Structure 1
Amino acid sequence: MKLAPIRALTLDLDDTLWPIAPAILRAEAALHGWLVDNAPATAAAFDIVALRKLRDEVGRAEPQWAHDLTRVRLESLRVALRRAGDDEALADAAFEVFFAARHEVELYPEVLAALQRLSAAYPLFALSNGNADIARVGLGPWFRGALSAREFGIGKPDPRIFIEACRRLGCEAGEVLHVGDDLELDVLGAQSAGLQTLWLRREDCAALPRDGVATVACLRSLADTLGC
């Protein structure tokens, strides 16, 4: 693997810096517990699985919200409350319980030390389709900035969100390296915008499913590769 000189890095968040599934499961449990205490009819009508299905139902019904996971989740809570006969105005408070727990992430073991190494050498910029806030996660000091699909109105793999991240970094696209776990959203999307890429593959970094896709096993390996 040979990279051209780079001036900055953009990093995906969910499943790149932390596993997202455990955080979402905890957040869903916290949400349902809150509903039991504050909207019991809704909690009785919708268990955790049913709330998840309703969220997906709302997402399919409103595809124009695909980039805004917060809006989809909020609307699905309003629908659940309304269908159960509870006050749908409770949706905002219910979502805040979910959102707070969603930020209780467990970083992959090497991430914190690697971010310290990487940020000492390059400006780091978070680029995510999710709704995590790097400040709430506690990683704000190592990032120059962040851009989410919700904020921008367009998500990965659309090249425009990558180009906007480069603009905010003050770099040309070819001077920026994007690293993320998703082949289509992160690697192919970033390449379509002219960025350099590394596909983060924790489980099987040695497997190359297609030509021309360079991989890295973890952020420590990324720092080693870049000589940080």
Structure 2
Amino acid sequence: MLDIKKIRAISLDLDDTLWPIWPTIERAEKCLHLWLTEHAPMTAALFSSPGALRDIRDYMAANRPDLRSDLSAVRRESIRLALYRAGENPLLAEPAFEVFFAERQRVQLFDDALSALEFLSARFPLVALSNGNADVQQVGLGAYFQAAISAREFGVGKPDPRIFHAAAGAVDVPPEAVLHVGDDAMLDVLGGINAGMQTVWVNRADHLWPHEVQPHVTLGNLTELCDLLAH
């Protein structure tokens, strides 16, 4: 059970907690493909092949484990490898990635997200805690967060307890005083519990809980979280 009296700060996942991630990624990939069609047509053709893309992803996973926590670097180096394999200029990877990254920051918030951020940030220090490469400043939500920690910058991602402890440290509270809120059962909920935090599972799609250890509370959206904390 959730002990509201212990909460002195809240850490929040971003992708699929504040906005749906796949529509964002699909738009960004479409923009990338249009750019490549104009500037590197052979690479664009390569990126149209699911088999070629899978081969590039497998190569990156096998040969660049150092990039595992940095989704931006994985994406950029995948573009570079595709350019190389297509016989085009690998230096185009930088501007190509910037096209992708700019569109990736144009997220469409869930309907409950903005009002929830306004409510929560007025009552608790908020920390963004993400394995993804969204930037809360570029997304336009920076004013609501006192800190933002990403796997890309920190070097390890959720569910590693160290990144949760870094989130607690960023607002100068112990882990047990933090409520972590996220959609992913393993990364957010089990990760948060193993780090000593209380956890909220945001289960928008009404999935069955897949693990033996339970979240402190399961909610269908962020409005329910605000209602819970208002009492």
Separation (CA, whole Å) in 2 of partners of 1:3 and 1:34: 50
Query: Deviations for 1:66-108, whole angstroms, at most 9, x for unmatched residues?
Result: 1011111111111100111110000000000000111111100
Where do residues 134-145 of structure 1 align in structure 2 (5 Å cutoff)?
A: 134-145=136-147
Unaligned ranges ≥5, structure 1: none
Whether the 8 Å CA contact 1:127–1:165 is kept in 2: the answer is: yes
Name 1:40's counterpart in structure 2.
41
Q: What is the total number of aligned residue pairs between the two structures?
A: 227
Name 2:80's counterpart in structure 1.
78
Kindly provide the amino acid, as one letter, of the partner of residue 227 in structure 1. Answer: A
TM-score (norm 1): 0.94
2:226 is the alignment partner of 1:223? yes
2:155 is the alignment partner of 1:177? no
Greater shift in the superposed pair: 51-60 or 25-34: 51-60
Greater shift in the superposed pair: 62-71 or 192-201: 62-71
Name the SS of the counterpart of 1:132 in structure 2: coil
Name the SS of the counterpart of 1:34 in structure 2: helix
Name the SS of the counterpart of 1:126 in structure 2: strand
Where do residues 12-31 of structure 1 align in structure 2 (5 Å cutoff)?
A: 12-31=13-32
Whether the 8 Å CA contact 2:56–2:82 is kept in 1: the answer is: no
* Shift in Å, 1:57: 1.9
Kindly provide the amino acid, as one letter, of the partner of residue 119 in structure 2. Answer: R
The alpha-carbon distance between structure 1 residues 212 and 49, as it changes in their structure 2 partners (threshold 3 A), is same
Query: Deviations for 1:136-167, whole angstroms, at most 9, x for unmatched residues?
Result: 11101111110000100000000000001111
Query: Deviations for 1:168-205, whole angstroms, at most 9, x for unmatched residues?
Result: 11001110000000111001111111111111101117
Name 1:154's counterpart in structure 2.
156
* Shift in Å, 1:58: 3.7
Separation (CA, whole Å) in 1 of partners of 2:13 and 2:53: 24
Where do residues 124-143 of structure 1 align in structure 2 (5 Å cutoff)?
A: 124-143=126-145
* Shift in Å, 1:18: 0.4
**Match for residue 187 of structure 1 among 186, 189, 197:** 189
Kindly provide the amino acid, as one letter, of the partner of residue 163 in structure 1. Answer: H
* Shift in Å, 1:48: 6.5
Kindly provide the amino acid, as one letter, of the partner of residue 3 in structure 1. Answer: D
Name 1:115's counterpart in structure 2.
117
Name 1:2's counterpart in structure 2.
2
* Shift in Å, 1:41: 1.8
* Shift in Å, 1:47: 1.1
Name the SS of the counterpart of 2:180 in structure 1: strand
What is the Cα-based RMSD across aligned positions, in Å? 1.7
* Shift in Å, 1:53: 2.3
Identical aligned pairs, as a percentage?
A: 52
Name the SS of the counterpart of 2:149 in structure 1: strand
Whether the 8 Å CA contact 1:28–1:48 is kept in 2: the answer is: no
Name 1:66's counterpart in structure 2.
68
* Shift in Å, 1:118: 0.6
Whether the 8 Å CA contact 1:131–1:148 is kept in 2: the answer is: yes
Separation (CA, whole Å) in 2 of partners of 1:95 and 1:10: 29
**Match for residue 89 of structure 2 among 60, 84, 87:** 87
Kindly provide the amino acid, as one letter, of the partner of residue 57 in structure 1. Answer: D
